[in-house]
Structure 1
Amino acid sequence: MAADDRNPTIDDIARRAGVSAMTVSRVINGGVRVSAATRERVQAVIDAAGYAPDPAARILARGGAGRIGLLYANPSNAYLAEVLSGALAGARAAGLLLMIEPSQAGDPAQEAEAVRRLAAGGAQGLIVPPPLGESVATLDAIRGAGLKAVLLAAPPAEGMAGALRVDDVSAAAEMTQRLIDLGHRRIGLIEGRADQSASADRRRGAQAAVDAASGVELLVDHGDFTYRSGFEAARRLLAARPRPTALFAGNDDMAAGALAAVHAEGFQTPADVSVAGFDDTYLAASVWPALTTIRQPVAEMARRAVLRLASREEIETEFVEHRLIERESTAPPG
C-alpha cells in the first residue's frame, strides 16, 4: 500500500502543511497559540486528506479532557508504580485516556521531545512527577506547547495548573525527632538529588529537629535517590568514628541500600543501626526488616492531579497529609 493510501496520521498532516505536529495538535484541540493563516492552512490540509482524529481526540474537540499525559524520568521503579497506580485510577474515574512518555532528565533536547510527543498525541494536560517538575527545559517545553500541567512533589511554577506535595520540612523533622526520642544522638542523613527542592527541604527539617535537641549531631552524605547511591552513602557514614546509630534516607530506595550497607559492614538493623526512609512505596514493606518511613501519598497525589486536569481547576500549591509509619527497622540504640 502506498503511503498516501493509508489513513493519514498527525505527522502526515504536519508534513503536508509545512508545520510541526504540535501545531497540528493545537489546531485540532482548539489551541490559541496558532495564527489565523496557519490555522486555515492546516485545516485545509486536514479537510483535503480526510483526516479524522481518533475517538479521544474527538472528545478533545468537544471540549472534554480526552487524553492526559504522564512524563516520567524517575529512577525508582517503586515510585513509578505508585504514580502509575494513582494516575490510572484518576483516568478511569474521569473517563480519560492516560498516555505515558519516558523522558531523559538532564538532557534538554530529550526533555523537550518528550513533551512534543505527548502534545502531538493529543494530550491536553500533563502530570509531571519529580525530577522533571523542577526542570527548566521541561517546564519551558510545556509552556511552549500551550499545555497545563500539575506538578507532583515540586513547588509551583508559572503557567502550570498547580502542584501537589507534602510538607517535606515538617515530615523530615518528624522522622528525625522520632529517632531522637528513641535515644539516637548521632544520626546520618542521606540526601537525594541536589536539583530537587525536596532534598534541601528534608535536610532543613532534619537539621531543625537536631538543633532543637541537646547533644544530637547530624552527619550528612549525598545520594541520588537510587538504591546504589544509598548503599554507598551509608557505607561512608558508617565509617565515621564514632559511627551514627541511625540512618535516615531521603527515599525508600536509598533506605533499602542503607540496610544492605549496614549488613555488609557486619552490623544488624535495628540492634546496631536503625534505618528510616521516605515515601512508603511497596519497597518499604518488602525489604527485611521492614522500613520505618514517611508515608507520602504518591498514588493519591497522582489520582488527584488527573482529576484536577479533567476539571480544569487551577491551584497554587496544595500540601497533602503525610504520616510516619513505624516498622521493624528502627529501635533504641543498642
Structure 2
Amino acid sequence: MNLATSSTGPVRATMDDVARHSGVSLKSVSRVINGEPHVSATLRAKVEAAIAELKYVPDAAARSLAGSRTFIIGLLLDNPSPNYTMKVQKGVYDAVRAHQYHLRIDNVDSSVPDDEFSAQLEALVRNSRCDGFVLTPPLSDNLLLLDFLDQSGIRYVRIAPALEKSRGSGIVIDDAAAAAAMARHLWDLGHRRYAIMRGPTAHMAAARRRDGFIEELKRLGLEHPVIEIDAGFSFEGGIRAGDSLLASGLRPTAIFAGNDDSAAGVMAACSKAGLKVPDDISVCGFDDSWIARSVWPYLTTVYQPIEEMGHAAASLLLRRDEPESALHRLDFHLVVRDSTAPPPQA
C-alpha cells in the first residue's frame, strides 16, 4: 500500500490507515498499540504487520492523553558493575523500543539512611512520570522501595528477587545451582583448597551464589573450610580482596568470585604477587560479561543471561495480562575457559 505524497513529502501513516490495511477496526488497532490484555495472537500479528509495512509511528502525546499514560518505562539501578548495567540496559531498551515506549534510566543509592532513600524515591516518581519500573538487584529486594511503589500504585517487575518472591512479577536464574556447577567443575579438576570472594551484603543473589558453592563442596566431601573474603562486585574490590588473601599466607588452589569484575581484580592481585593463573592458582567468576574475555587468561565463568533478563522484565511490565505474581526462570550454563586448570602438584 502506498500513501499519498504531499508537496512537502510523504504523508505520515495514521491509525485509520493501519486499520484499513489490516482489515480490522480502529478500536482493535488501538488495543494492540496500547498493549491491552486479551488481544488474540492473530489480531496482534495482523496489526503489527500493517504497522511495519506502513511504517506507522504512534503519536506518544495522543496515546498519553487517551490512556492516562506517559509511555515511559523506568529502569532503576544500584549496581557497581558497569558490565552488568550495560547488558541489562540493552535488554530493557530493546523491549521498550519494540513497544513504542521510551526508557528512562536512574541510579539510586540504597545504602543511605531510610529517610534519605525515601526522599530519593519521592523525587524520582515526581519527576520521572514513568508508567512502571524494572528493578535490578539489590533494589529488587529493597522492601522500602517495594512498599513505596505498592502504596503509590506503580507497577514494577523485579530482576533476581530473593525476598517475598510472590510479590509482583520477576525474572530469575538459579544462582545457587549455577554456583554449585562451578564448584563441581573445580572439584573434578582436583582442587581441595578453596576461597570465595563474596559479593555485596545487600545483593541477595551474591548470597545465593556463596551458599550454593559451599554447600555443593560439602556435599562432595570437602574437609577443609572454604576461605571467605568480602570483595563486593567491583574490579577494585577484587584486587583488595585478593591482596588480603595472598598476604595472609593462606593459599587456596582455586578462587571463586561472585562476579566477573571482582574475579578480574583477583587475577590482577595474583599477578602482583607473582602467581600465574591457572598454573599456580585457578580463578573463576560469574556473569560471562565482556571483561571475562578482556583479561588473560580468558576467564572461566557462569553465563547469566543478563540482557535476556532485562528484555524479559520489560516485556512483562508492558504485558497487562500477566499474573501479578508470575516468576519466570531463565537458563544459565558454565563457560570453561583458560583461567581454571588442575591444581599444581605439592
Give the alignment's TM-score, normalised by structure 2: 0.75
Do the aligned residues in 2 keep the contact of 1:70 with 1:98 (CA within 8 Å)? yes
Hey, what does 2:256 align to over in structure 1? 248
Offset of residue 317 of structure 1: 2.3
Do the aligned residues in 2 keep the contact of 1:103 with 1:110 (CA within 8 Å)? no
More off after superposition, 132-141 vs 218-227: 132-141
More off after superposition, 285-294 vs 298-307: 285-294
Q: Do structure 1's residue 263 and structure 2's residue 271 form an aligned pair? A: yes
What is the CA–CA distance in structure 2 between the aligned matches of 1:94 and 1:326, rounded to whole Å?
Answer: 37
- 1:101 maps to a residue whose letter is D
What pairs up with 1:101-180 in 2 under 5 angstroms? Answer: 101-107=106-112, 108-120=114-126, 121-155=128-162, 157=164, 161-180=168-187
Hey, what does 2:5 align to over in structure 1? none
What is the CA–CA distance in structure 2 between the aligned matches of 1:57 and 1:110, rounded to whole Å?
Answer: 34
- Which of 285, 292, 296 lines up with 2:300 in the alignment? 292
The secondary structure found in structure 1 opposite 2:291 is helix
Which stretches in structure 2 are left out of the alignment for 5+ residues? 1-58
Aligned CA distance change for structure 1 residues 266 and 105 (closer, same or farther; 3 Å): same
Do the aligned residues in 1 keep the contact of 2:175 with 2:208 (CA within 8 Å)? yes
Offset of residue 170 of structure 1: 0.5
Runs of 4+ in 1 over 6 A off after TM superposition: none
Offset of residue 238 of structure 1: 2.6
Offset of residue 117 of structure 1: 4.5
Aligned CA distance change for structure 1 residues 161 and 94 (closer, same or farther; 3 Å): farther
What is the CA–CA distance in structure 2 between the aligned matches of 1:187 and 1:62, rounded to whole Å?
Answer: 60
Q: Say what the alpha-carbon RMSD is for the aligned residues.
A: 2.2
Do the aligned residues in 2 keep the contact of 1:225 with 1:253 (CA within 8 Å)? yes
The secondary structure found in structure 2 opposite 1:238 is helix
Aligned CA distance change for structure 1 residues 267 and 222 (closer, same or farther; 3 Å): same
Aligned CA distance change for structure 1 residues 57 and 189 (closer, same or farther; 3 Å): farther
Deviations 1:123-165 (A, max 9, x none): 1110111111122332222223211111112226489531211
More off after superposition, 64-73 vs 119-128: 64-73
Deviations 1:37-65 (A, max 9, x none): xxxxxxxxxxxxxxxxxx54642443477
Q: Do structure 1's residue 304 and structure 2's residue 312 form an aligned pair? A: yes
The secondary structure found in structure 2 opposite 1:318 is strand
Do the aligned residues in 1 keep the contact of 2:75 with 2:104 (CA within 8 Å)? yes
Aligned CA distance change for structure 1 residues 332 and 57 (closer, same or farther; 3 Å): farther
Offset of residue 109 of structure 1: 4.4
What pairs up with 1:167-206 in 2 under 5 angstroms? Answer: 167-206=174-213
Give the alignment's TM-score, normalised by structure 1: 0.78
Do the aligned residues in 2 keep the contact of 1:150 with 1:160 (CA within 8 Å)? no
Do the aligned residues in 2 keep the contact of 1:234 with 1:247 (CA within 8 Å)? no
Aligned CA distance change for structure 1 residues 183 and 127 (closer, same or farther; 3 Å): same
What is the CA–CA distance in structure 2 between the aligned matches of 1:281 and 1:241, rounded to whole Å?
Answer: 31
Q: How many residues align?
A: 281
Aligned CA distance change for structure 1 residues 112 and 70 (closer, same or farther; 3 Å): farther
Do the aligned residues in 2 keep the contact of 1:292 with 1:327 (CA within 8 Å)? yes
Aligned CA distance change for structure 1 residues 88 and 225 (closer, same or farther; 3 Å): same
Do the aligned residues in 2 keep the contact of 1:151 with 1:162 (CA within 8 Å)? yes
Offset of residue 112 of structure 1: 3.3
